[in-house]
């Protein structure tokens, strides 16, 4: 991550993310924290001050990361991943690679911005709908969602349970470039389960850190791309032997 080629994608989104961070957390603690505080004081007594503060903090983090990933991080992380692959001499893997947003928006600046926001929201809603129509995914999300709101230990438990999924997500661009379908991805990950568990757990913990977790998104993406390049080179060497 210290290579100068990798910094532009990160620096380009720092200021907007800091502004969103301030708005999200200040708004959450002004409007949501007071009723949470009253509820927890009623349920837990004086300890409710601490538990309600931690819960509000975790909720604000979740909202912040959702906004950051939807509108800023995805393209920047994809560009970082591709840059690392190029630096590792895998330009051919990127041949014909496409971006995520193929839509062209016309009109004035305000209209383009509105269309982009609506497109991003629709994309997220479509992904959410697909996940929820799967009985397995629906049950999984239903069981995991409340865990993140358990004060202090909740995020760590969630990081363990979602470690493999997090590892897969960090290398989603690699699977896309390889043209893997869902079955091929499962088979690929299953053969390297220990690596994806360890990498995913560490990545999940680092990315949970408020504000600077955004920086770790880029370091994790860089690490995932380097790992992907190493695996790709091994696969190619094995194929030529």
Q: What is the pLDDT of residues 159-181, one digit of tens each?
A: 888 899 899 999 999 999 998 99
Query: For residues 157 and 200, what is the distance between their CA atoms, to the nearest angstrom?
Result: 13
The string over 178-206, giving b where at least 16 C-beta atoms fall within 10 Å of a residue's C-beta and e elsewhere, is eebeeeebeebbeeeeeebbebbbbbbbb
pLDDT greater than 60 at residue 146: yes
Mean per-residue pLDDT, 102-119: 48
Q: What pLDDT is recorded for position 68?
A: 81
Q: What percent of the chain has pLDDT over 90?
A: 24
Task: Enumerate the H helices of the chain as residue ranges.
Answer: 7-31, 33-44, 48-68, 74-87, 109-132, 135-144, 153-161, 163-170, 172-178, 182-190, 193-207, 213-240
pLDDT greater than 80 at residue 147: no
Alpha-carbon torsion, ordered 70, 71, 74, 79, to 10 deg: 170
More confident residue, 217 or 99: 217
Band (pLDDT 50/70/90 cuts) for residue 227 is very high
More confident residue, 117 or 218: 218
Q: What pLDDT is recorded for position 102?
A: 45
Q: What pLDDT is recorded for position 101?
A: 45
Contacts 24+ apart (CB under 8 A), 212-217: 213/65, 214/13, 214/14, 214/17, 214/68, 214/73, 215/10, 217/73, 217/77
Mean per-residue pLDDT, 205-228: 87
pLDDT greater than 90 at residue 209: no
Q: State the pTM of this model.
A: 0.71
Query: For residues 42 and 21, what is the distance between their CA atoms, to the nearest angstrom?
Result: 30
Q: How big is the chain, counted in residues?
A: 241
Band (pLDDT 50/70/90 cuts) for residue 97 is low
- For the stretch 16-63, pLDDT in tens is 888 888 899 999 999 988 998 998 888 888 888 887 887 788 788 878
Band (pLDDT 50/70/90 cuts) for residue 211 is confident
Query: For residues 14 and 72, what is the distance between their CA atoms, to the nearest angstrom?
Result: 10
In whole angstroms, what separates CA 206 from the centre of its chain? 11
Mean per-residue pLDDT, 67-79: 82
């Amino acid at each position: 991550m210290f290579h100068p080629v990798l910094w532009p994608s990160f620096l380009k989104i720092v200021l907007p993310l800091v502004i969103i961070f301030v708005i999200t957390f200040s708004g959450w603690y002004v409007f949501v924290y007071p009723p949470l505080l009253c509820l927890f004081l009623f349920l837990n007594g004086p300890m409710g001050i601490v538990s309600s503060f931690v819960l509000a903090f975790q909720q604000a983090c979740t909202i912040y990361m959702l906004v950051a990933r939807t509108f800023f991080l995805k393209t920047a992380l994809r560009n970082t991943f591709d840059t690392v692959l190029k630096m590792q001499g895998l330009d051919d893997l990127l041949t014909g690679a496409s971006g995520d947003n193929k839509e062209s928006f016309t009109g004035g600046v305000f209209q383009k911005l509105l269309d982009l926001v609506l497109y991003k929201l629709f994309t997220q809603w479509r992904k959410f709908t697909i996940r929820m129509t799967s009985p397995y995914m629906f049950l999984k999300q239903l069981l995991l969602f409340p865990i993140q709101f358990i004060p202090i230990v909740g995020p760590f438990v969630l990081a363990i349970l979602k470690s493999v999924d997090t590892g897969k997500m960090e290398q989603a661009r690699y699977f896309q470039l390889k043209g893997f379908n869902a079955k091929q991805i499962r088979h690929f990950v299953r053969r390297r389960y220990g690596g994806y568990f360890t990498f995913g757990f560490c990545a999940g913990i680092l990315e949970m850190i408020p504000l600077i977790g955004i920086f770790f998104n880029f370091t994790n993406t860089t690490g995932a791309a380097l790992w992907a390049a190493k695996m790709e080179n091994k696969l190619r060497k094995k194929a030529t032997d």
